[in-house]
Amino acid sequence: MITLTVNGHQHAIDAEPDTPLLYVLRDELGLNGAKFGCGLGQCGACTVIVDGSAVFSCLTPIALLPGRPVTTIEGLGTAAAPGPVQRAFITEQAAQCGYCIAGMVMRAQALLARSPTPTEQEIRDGMNPNLCRCGTHMRILAAVRRAAGMAPVQKADAR
């Protein structure tokens, strides 16, 4: 048994120590926000926060997690009461298919917790590990800027 703390709740998990956190979240705990994209640490669809840092849950074995709190998108808010970063993504209509968005929100959440007033370059570098196959990156960046309380970038500058 491995005890995980997810969104403030403790769970005793009966699984092999090398089981990826993503599988436990989705299959054991019913937390389906984090998505399986590549399973290889290349897309970020599975991003959650561990100990304050954004991690690829597809590559994170649960053996590494006792005593290290995990936060998933479900821990940030609900559909009825979304958290501030979630609200910014909704306002900027950052989702197209939506598959990448939970991971994007979690990476933005970790970035803004670490750096509440980021520069444009910090936002771009910070969000860089996560991919959006629909190509809504400009709206995603706008959402992160909004969540950080930054002025919107003018279209001519949004390259």
Q: Determine which residue in the list 3, 17, 38, 124 makes contact with ligand FES, applying CB under 6 A.
A: 38
Length of the chain: 159
Q: Determine which residue in the list 97, 114, 119, 124 makes contact with ligand FES, applying CB under 6 A.
A: 97
User: 10 vs 99, which CB is nearer to ligand FES?
Assistant: 99
d(CA 97, CA 95): 6
Please give the DSSP secondary-structure letter assigned to residue 157: G
d(CA 36, CA 147): 26
Q: Does 62 bind ligand FES (CB under 6 A)?
A: no
Please give the DSSP secondary-structure letter assigned to residue 48: E
Q: Does 43 bind ligand FES (CB under 6 A)?
A: yes
User: 27 vs 119, which CB is nearer to ligand FES?
Assistant: 27
The contacts of residue 125 (CB under 8 Å, 6+ apart) are: none
User: 75 vs 103, which CB is nearer to ligand FES?
Assistant: 103
User: 40 vs 151, which CB is nearer to ligand FES?
Assistant: 40
Q: Does 42 bind ligand FES (CB under 6 A)?
A: yes
The contacts of residue 44 (CB under 8 Å, 6+ apart) are: 37, 56, 100, 103, 104, 107, 129, 130, 131
Q: Does 98 bind ligand FES (CB under 6 A)?
A: yes
Q: Determine which residue in the list 45, 70, 102, 127 makes contact with ligand FES, applying CB under 6 A.
A: 45
Please give the DSSP secondary-structure letter assigned to residue 81: S
**Where along the sequence are the contacts to ligand FES (CB under 6 A)?**
36-39, 41-46, 56, 58, 95-101, 132-134, 136
